[in-house]
Amino acid sequence: MKSVGKTGFILTCLVTVLALPLTTGILPQTATAVNNSDSREGTQIKGQPVNSGHFLNVAHRGASGYAPENTMAAFEKAVEMKSDYFELDVQRSRDGKLVVMHDTTVDRTTDGTGQVRDLTLKQLKSLDAGSWFSPEFRGERIPTLEEVLDRFRGTRAGILIELKSPELYPGIEAQVAHLLKKKRMHKRHGKVIVQSFNHQSMKRYHRLQPTVPVGVLVSYTQYKDGITDEELKEFTAYADYVNPNKALVDSELVDRIHRRNMKILPYTVRNQESADQLIQAGVDGIITDFPELGYR
Ligand code: G3P
Ligand code: CA
């Protein structure tokens, strides 16, 4: 009796410990975010893609909620989480190489300092672009655009290429267009879209390579009073996508963009409520740090 009682006590303790996270809600971040039916290497995906086949689930700077932004780890994670596209930011090194980086300095996301355009590719490649996010990603490197294209060309992953501050990099449009052509990724429906906040740059891009769809990014600060019909009409001359800050989006804007035969991919979605509101408004996809938000 005594030994049965002891065993019973141990079993009770075990069950209590195992059940604790369920009763208290203390669960790892990836598990609390969603109620899932499919799981891939620890990051769980909920249900089915929204409006499967049409809705674009775009991972912002890769799956940047789970891996350091704009690194191969973040792009691999985006694909693993079934994103249709991943977004990345392109700039240029001092010696003329196209590199994938958001900020115009390396200070925030690497262990180095200085302007991207003042550093050579060798200097940029020597930096650790992962540790700032988590020790698990120590040693992640800043990728070149060519490395990313080579890795994902021919896979199901689409790539949304943002030209970041192209005014700092004269001729960058022609350089990106040349690289896409060299990699044979320049044909329409080649799963590549090019976008920028700099609309003059996008006009140039469209003239250089009309086979690649172009997107205009629309910031809240520049368009807080809304996008006028005149501006939308102007966009139709060269753009296929109007990609605004999500705070600017309602169903009326979505309809106005659709009436002009363009698509809308708002940025940057970081919670389910926001994703659901945008989906309800009829957007064509979302640009998100958390790809599971594009599933229901
Ligand atoms: O793709 C949209 C988004 O990337 C634009 O903002 O600052 O994250 O490059 P940002
Ligand atoms: Ca971007």
- Asked about 102 being catalytic, the answer comes back as yes
pLDDT at 272: 95
Strand partners, 115: 105
How sure is the predictor about 45, in pLDDT bands with cuts at 50, 70 and 90? low
How sure is the predictor about 53, in pLDDT bands with cuts at 50, 70 and 90? low
The better pLDDT of the pair 83, 37 is held by 83
**Do 13 and 80 fall within a single domain?**
no
Residue 79 has pLDDT above 80, yes or no: yes
**Do 207 and 120 fall within a single domain?**
yes
**Do 8 and 44 fall within a single domain?**
no
Domain around 27: 1-32
**Do 11 and 79 fall within a single domain?**
no
**Do 100 and 186 fall within a single domain?**
yes
Residue 267 has pLDDT above 80, yes or no: yes
DSSP annotation string for 258-288: HHTT-EE--B-B-SHHHHHHHHHHT-SEEEE
* Ligand 1 atom closest to 243 (CA): 2
**Cα–Cα distance for residue pair 235/195, rounded to 1 Å:** 12
Ligand 2: centre distance to CA 102 (Å)? 6
pLDDT tens string 157-179: 999 999 999 999 999 999 999 99
Q: Which residues line ligand 1 (CB under 6 A)?
A: 60, 87, 89, 102, 162, 217, 243, 267-268, 287
**Do 80 and 27 fall within a single domain?**
no
CATH number, domain with residue 52: 3.20.20.190
Residue 214 has pLDDT above 70, yes or no: yes
**Do 191 and 171 fall within a single domain?**
yes
- Total domains, the chain: 2
The better pLDDT of the pair 126, 45 is held by 126
Q: Which of 22-31, 137-146, 228-237 has the lowest mean pLDDT?
A: 22-31
**Cα–Cα distance for residue pair 115/247, rounded to 1 Å:** 30
**Do 82 and 206 fall within a single domain?**
yes
Relative to the alpha carbon of 246, which ligand is closest? 1
**Cα–Cα distance for residue pair 117/104, rounded to 1 Å:** 8
pLDDT at 29: 32
> Are 155 and 82 spatial neighbours (Cβ–Cβ below 8 Å)?
no
**Do 23 and 108 fall within a single domain?**
no
- Asked about 60 being catalytic, the answer comes back as yes
Helix or strand or coil: residue 43? strand
**Do 24 and 64 fall within a single domain?**
no
How sure is the predictor about 25, in pLDDT bands with cuts at 50, 70 and 90? very low
Q: Which of 279, 263, 291 minimizes the C-alpha distance to 80?
A: 291
Q: What is the pTM of this model?
A: 0.85
**Do 197 and 136 fall within a single domain?**
yes
How sure is the predictor about 22, in pLDDT bands with cuts at 50, 70 and 90? very low
As given in the structure block, the two tokens for residue 77 are: 């994670």
Ligand 1: centre distance to CA 102 (Å)? 8
**Do 195 and 123 fall within a single domain?**
yes
Ligand 1: centre distance to CA 25 (Å)? 33
